[in-house]
């Protein structure tokens, strides 16, 4: 079940936090601007007071370890077995197991709700680094674990976290020739998976609205019906057509303020980019070429749109004004460039690159300079950004063999190209879309 | 659909007569042993329901034009069928681009059939991009067969 969008956190108060340690050997911080750094060794003790406390610690360990920025010290190594959540730990014990940080917590029942107190201790300086207290409904324990993970990430890296987020994706099942493709949504760590379409027709390319309340995606109509863009409420499941055009409409994506959806519409072999006002449903054409213009994506400030087009002969990336016009090509390397997505921070554009050697996921600056490849394979496609612009998710598909579809799976990778890992999904999966942070 | 079944049944009654009537090409007559003229099976086996494209291209090739010429003749002879031209791509492209490329291929085949005299109103298009491979395979031969426009009848 989804959490209620509001009132999930009845109260959140910062406990007293110490100033940032100023010693040169302060190991609880990571300078993310440096080209390389060691993962921060951190111990996360099972939260006390309620059985859910151990599960919360498990979620936090999993999040931090998967980020690649932390090395979680196994509990079997702990010297101090019993750590109180409110009094300082025996710092020398934690220094000798190599921890730079120590996370402790307490879960208590308060009139049908749970109260969670957590602290991050800086073991190097023997000071509290951060601490938070929440009261919430008991079934929100996973979300609270993600919020605490984000607080730890932010304290250590100085950047916003991305753990309290969701992933929309396409679940794939069945025979390769008649594959069932459904839109699904899950938490960033793979928990709370559920399906938003019934699988009767193929549904592809889900994307979140900035509030996470809605998604847009493409789905075929029944009985060979053409592909159309749908707008669907994530919680209620209510869905509506976003414009009913004679030709296929697809590749939808919200503007950063959520008031518009940009998409492609095909007509007589031409595919152009259009903008639709979500409330009034007015349609406005943004490109007018005989080519294929598709995969449009707004810049983080909403002023520009990046897309791919084969107007120059092969698929390349172009940037234009969000109101159309001033189109200019930004990709000039070998091969074809596709599926551009603008970083939430505005600094990079991620893309899929197809060259003779295979498929790759890369990033370039928004002027096309500084191209770097982060992942490659037989088929890798469809990057999407974590809200902090540090991590990308994409999908990998293996070659088919013996008439069976090759396995498709979601993967995440750091913007430096490190820490790639598979994201668990109940079925084969493609087309991930990373949500913004869930509004608190 | 029931009308088509009825037509098939009637056609089946004349199957033996049709087979003995050997005006058809050798290849065609060899294949007609199990399908009745005017059926979807007849169209698929004896006319050819698909044409193939080069990589990232949507120009109908010479071999495709021959197939589409045969399709147009057959479709004029059996005017009750409604036609959906399906455009498809191999897996070596991105999903959204391939949807558009498949549409361009379906449209190219449709325009060719219209030029051969098939009324535009009989012809719809749909693109499946790379979502419906046939055959399934990650090799050059399979990809060549997947870059296709399929004329589907109902």
Whether A98 shows a pLDDT value over 50: the answer reads yes
The range of the structural domain enclosing residue A332 comes to: 166-434
Question: Residue A417, SS3?
Answer: coil
Inspect the interface and report whether the beta carbons of B103 and A294 lie closer than 8 Å: no
Which residues, 6 or more positions from A74, have their beta carbon under 8 angstroms from its beta carbon?
none
Q: What is the pLDDT of residues B7-27, one digit of tens each?
A: 444 444 333 333 333 333 444
* Interchain contact, B91 vs A397, CB within 8 Å: yes
Tokens encoding A355: 């060259």
Q: Within this chain, do residues A151 and A260 fall inside the same structural domain, yes or no?
A: no
B152 with A292: Cβ contact below 8 A: no
Please report whether residue A4 resides in a domain: no
Q: Is residue A3, in this structure, part of any structural domain at all?
A: no
List the single residue in A176, A251, A269 with the smallest CB-CB distance to B107.
Answer: A269
Tell me, yes or no, whether A6 lies in a domain: no
**Domain annotation covers residue A141:** yes
Q: How confident is the model at residue A18 (pLDDT cuts 50, 70, 90)?
A: very low
A174 and A211 both lie in a single domain: yes
CA distances from B80 to A253, B1, B47, B118 (A): 41, 11, 17, 12
Q: Which of B82, B100, B108 to mutate to test the interface with A (most CBs of A within 10 A)?
A: B100
- Return d(Cα B22, Cα B60) in angstroms, integer: 31
- Both A187 and A121 in a single domain? no
A294-315 pLDDT, tens digit per residue, is: 999 999 999 999 999 999 999 9
Return phi, psi of residue A275, to 5°.
Answer: -115, 135
Please check the confidence at residue B3 and state whether its pLDDT lies above 50: no
Assess whether pLDDT exceeds 70 at residue A266: yes
Structure tokens at B87: 């455009």
- Nearest Cβ partner of A339 from B92, B94, B132? B94
We report the CATH number of the domain holding residue A149 as 3.40.50.10070
Most A CBs within 10 Å: which of B90, B95, B150, as the mutation test of the A interface?
B95
Same domain, A260 and A376: yes
Shortest CA distance to A315 belongs to which of A343, A287, A265, A352?
A352
CA distance B46 to chain A (A): 23
Determine what percent of chain A is predicted with pLDDT higher than 90: 83
B88 CB neighbours in chain A (<8 A) are none
Residue A226 and residue B137: Cβ atoms within 8 Å?
Answer: no
Higher local confidence (pLDDT), A27 or A347: A347
Number of domains in chain A: 2
Distances (CA, A) of A247 to A220, A239, A406, B82: 12, 20, 31, 18
Q: Where in A93-199 does DSSP place strands (E)? A: 101-110, 113-122, 127-136, 166-173, 180-187, 194-195
Partner B contacted by A379 (CB < 8 A): yes
Phi-psi region of A196 (alpha: psi -120 to 50; beta: other; left: phi over 0): alpha
Does residue A2 sit within a domain?
Answer: no
pLDDT at B26: 40
* pLDDT band at residue A402 using 50, 70 and 90 as cut-offs: confident
Whether residue B107 and residue A295 make contact (CB cut-off 8 A), yes or no, is: no
Which residue out of B1, B54, B94 would a mutagenesis test of the A interface target, given it has the greatest number of A Cβ atoms within 10 Å? B94
Nearest residue, CB atoms, B97 vs list A177, A202, A338: A338
Nearest chain A CA: its distance from B97 CA (Å): 7
Question: Do B122 and B108 form a contact (C-beta atoms < 8 A)?
Answer: no
* Judgement on whether residues A285 and A382 belong to the same structural domain of the protein: yes
**Kind and range of the H or E run holding B13:** helix B2-13
Q: Which fold has domain B2-153?
A: 60s Ribosomal Protein L30; Chain: A; (3.30.1330)
The per-residue pLDDT for A85 is 85
Instruction: Check residue A223 and give its pLDDT.
Output: 77
> What's the mean pLDDT in B116-128?
96
Q: Which residue of B has its CA nearest to A381?
A: B94
The token pair that represents B133 in the structure block: 């491979």
Nearest CA in chain A to B106: A269
Whether residue B24 lies within 8 A of chain A, CB to CB, comes out as no
pLDDT at A244: 86
Does B54 reach chain A within 8 Å, measured CB to CB?
Answer: no
Query: pLDDT tens across A368-392, in order?
Result: 999 999 999 999 999 999 999 999 9
- Do residues B87 and B60 touch, judged by C-beta distance below 8 A? no
* A-chain residues near B138 (CB < 8 A): 378, 399-401, 406
Q: Are residues A150 and A215 in the same domain?
A: no
DSSP, res B120: G
B8: how many CB neighbours lie within 10 A of its CB? 17
Whether pLDDT at A235 is above 80: yes
ipTM for this model: 0.91
What's chain B's Rg over C-alpha atoms?
16
């Amino acid at each position: 079940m989804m959490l209620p969008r509001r009132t999930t956190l009845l109260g959140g108060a910062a406990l007293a936090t110490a100033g940032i340690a100023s010693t040169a050997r302060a190991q609880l911080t990571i300078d993310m601007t440096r080209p390389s750094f060691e993962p921060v060794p951190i111990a996360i003790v099972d939260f006390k007071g309620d059985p859910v406390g151990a599960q919360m610690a498990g979620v936090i360990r999993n999040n931090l370890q998967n980020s690649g920025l932390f090395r979680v010290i196994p509990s079997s190594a702990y010297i101090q077995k019993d750590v109180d959540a409110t009094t300082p730990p025996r710092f020398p014990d934690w220094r000798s197991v190599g921890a730079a940080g120590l996370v402790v917590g307490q879960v208590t029942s308060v009139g049908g709700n749970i109260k969670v107190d957590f602290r991050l201790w800086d073991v190097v300086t023997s000071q509290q680094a951060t601490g938070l207290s929440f009261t919430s409904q008991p079934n929100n324990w996973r979300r609270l674990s993600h919020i605490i993970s984000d607080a730890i990430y932010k304290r250590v890296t100085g950047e916003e976290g991305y753990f309290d987020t969701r992933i929309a994706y396409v679940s794939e099942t069945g025979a390769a020739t008649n594959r069932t493709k459904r839109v699904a949504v899950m938490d960033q760590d793979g928990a709370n998976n559920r399906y938003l379409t019934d699988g009767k027709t193929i549904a592809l390319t889900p994307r979140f609205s900035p509030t996470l309340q809605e998604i847009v995606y493409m789905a075929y109509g029944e009985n060979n019906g053409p592909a159309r863009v749908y707008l669907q409420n994530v919680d209620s499941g209510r869905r509506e057509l976003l414009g009913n055009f004679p030709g296929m409409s697809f590749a939808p994506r919200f503007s950063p303020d959520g008031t518009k959806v940009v998409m492609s519409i095909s007509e007589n072999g031409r595919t152009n980019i259009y903008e639709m006002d979500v409330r009034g449903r007015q349609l406005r054409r943004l490109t007018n070429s005989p080519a294929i213009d598709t995969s449009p994506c707004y810049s983080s400030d909403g002023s520009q749109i990046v897309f791919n087009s084969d107007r120059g002969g092969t698929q390349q990336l172009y940037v234009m004004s969000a109101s159309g016009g001033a189109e200019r090509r930004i990709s000039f390397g070998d091969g074809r460039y596709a599926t551009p997505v603008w970083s939430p921070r505005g600094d990079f554009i991620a893309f899929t690159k197809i060259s003779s050697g295979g498929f790759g996921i890369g990033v370039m600056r928004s002027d096309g300079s500084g191209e770097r490849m982060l992942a490659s394979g037989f088929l890798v496609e469809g990057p999407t950004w974590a809200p902090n612009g540090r991590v990308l998710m994409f999908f990998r598909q293996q070659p088919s063999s013996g008439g069976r579809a090759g396995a498709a799976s979601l993967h995440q990778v750091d913007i430096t190209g490190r820490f790639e890992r598979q994201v668990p999904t109940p079925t084969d999966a493609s087309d991930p879309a990373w949500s913004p942070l869930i509004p608190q | 659909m029931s009308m088509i079944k009825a037509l098939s049944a009637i056609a089946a009654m004349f199957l033996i007569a049709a087979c003995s009537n050997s005006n058809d090409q050798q290849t065609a007559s060899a294949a007609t042993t199990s399908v009745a003229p005017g059926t979807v099976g007849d169209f698929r086996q004896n006319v050819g329901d698909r044409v193939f494209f080069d990589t990232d291209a949507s120009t109908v090739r010479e071999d495709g034009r021959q197939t589409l010429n045969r399709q147009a003749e057959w479709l004029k002879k059996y005017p009750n069928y409604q036609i959906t031209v399906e455009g498809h791509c191999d897996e070596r492209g991105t999903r959204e681009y391939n949807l558009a490329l498949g549409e361009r291929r379906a449209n190219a085949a449709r325009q060719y059939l219209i030029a051969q005299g098939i009324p535009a109103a009989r012809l719809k298009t749909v693109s499946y991009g790379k979502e419906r491979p046939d055959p399934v395979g990650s090799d050059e031969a399979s990809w060549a067969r997947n870059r296709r426009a399929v004329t589907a009848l109902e």
